[in-house]
Structure formats: C-alpha cells, structure tokens
Amino acid sequence: MHPAELRQILGQQAQELAAAREAVRQQGAALRDLERRLQERADADRTLQKPRFIEDVPGPRMPYTYVASARFTAGDAIGTSVVAPVTIAADGPFVCTDIAVFWRPTHASSGFRNEWLPPTRIGWRVNSLAAAAPPTGTMEFSMRFTTGGSGRWWQSDWLPGAMFDRTAGNRPHYVGISGWVERTNTLSSEARAEMAVPQSNTGEVWTFWSGYQILIPINLSEQFGWAV
C-alpha cells in the first residue's frame, strides 16, 4: 500500500475515533444530567409525601387515656402547686383530644370522701345553693399543662378550675386542635391551690388526657419535618 493511502486511512480512523470519543463524552454528560434530574424528582416526591396532618401519619390507632394525680395535704397554703407527670409509652406518639380534671378528697372528715368532684366551687356558687356555704371537701384550683422534650406549655397562663367543671353537661375540656406528645416524652399537669387546704380537704387532683396512641415507633416532628 502506498504511504499516502496509508496516511489517509489512518487519518480517517483517527477522526472516527475522535468522533466516537466525543459521542461517548456526550452520552456520559447526558447520563449524568438524567441522574441529576431523577434525584431531584425523587427528592421532590419525598417532600410531597410528607404528611400534612396527623391523620395522614401511617400506623394503627388505639384509644388511650393518660392519668396523673397531684396530692394536696392539710396546711398547704394558697398558691401551693404540685406537678404530676406521666411518661408517654415507647409504642408511638400520643395525640390528645380532650382533658378532664377532678378533685378527690380523701380525708375521713370530708363530706365527699373518695368521690369525684370538679376542681372548682363554681357549681355551688351559681346553682340553687348559692346562698349556702360550699360543702366541706370542695376546693378551688387552677391548672396548667406542659410537655417534656419540647417543653411547650399548652396555655399562656393558669387556667381556672371552672374550665373543667362538668356539672353542667358533663363534657370534658376539648382542646382546640389535637395536641401531640412524642413517644417517651413526658406530659405534665400542675395544679395550684387557690385557697388554703384545711384538714377536711386533704386529697388529690386527678388529670385525664384522653385521645389515641399511634402504635408505630416514629416521631411526629420528623414526619412533618419540624424542629421542636
């Protein structure tokens, strides 16, 4: 083969090789761009899949009520407060829909020993017994509630016991929106005596948080993408 022809063939092969390399480079760039767009789409899908409401969170629900009691003894002065915490089970977060509070006198001289009474005297002040002195064993309390972990209060100030008076309609105190507490965190009630505790009024303030437990070991703050 003539050297000129050989040079021409080698030149053509070099051009073809360069073209092939360019095609491979372009294909690699296109592949990387496709991978980037797929990753962006996956990230967007994960964002869209985050639940917007507690009802969107997966997992079975079980009705549940957490209970805590704060004991007051004879001689406790006005303003004495007692904290009563409970720990949320590790099964999953707890969603609270309503709260009930009762006063239960335990002293033998109380006229209502071991009975469940409202944490206020307002019922006796507004009914037909308004002219009579409140019965022995009744008390007046204020309440407030907080969660452990985030340490968030569920109110801006003390709530009067009259908010939890169930003598008219016998309804619990429904919260404005479902309050939730992460698993293994604490939920606490704090009762404050608005009158001195006489001997006959020794007893306990009981708090009942009713709602449901989500039976899956997740944290709601992570599900919603919140920092609490």
Q: Which residue reads 């409970």 in tokens?
A: 86
CATH topology (fold) of 54-224: Jelly Rolls (2.60.120)
Q: Which of 211, 154, 207, 217 is nearest to 182 (CA)?
A: 217
C-alpha span between 106 and 178 (Å, rounded) = 33
- What is the structure's pLDDT at 9? 66
- Over residues 181-226, the pLDDT tens digits come to 888 999 999 999 999 988 778 899 999 999 999 998 888 777 776 6
Query: CB of 154 within 8 A of CB of 179?
Result: yes
Which pair of structure tokens corresponds to residue 174? Answer: 């429904």
C-alpha span between 108 and 199 (Å, rounded) = 10
% of the chain residues with pLDDT over 90: 37
- What kind and span of H or E run contains 173? strand 173-181
Q: Which residue reads 């095609």 in tokens?
A: 23
pTM here is 0.73
Main-chain phi, psi angles of 32, to 5 degrees = -65, -40
- Over residues 115-156, the pLDDT tens digits come to 999 999 887 776 655 556 777 788 999 999 998 866 788 899
Q: Which residue reads 């977060």 in tokens?
A: 93
Domain ranges within the chain, ordered by starting residue: 1-49, 54-224
- CA dihedral over 75, 198, 102, 168, signed as positive or negative: negative
Main-chain phi, psi angles of 225, to 5 degrees = 75, 30
- What is the structure's pLDDT at 37? 82
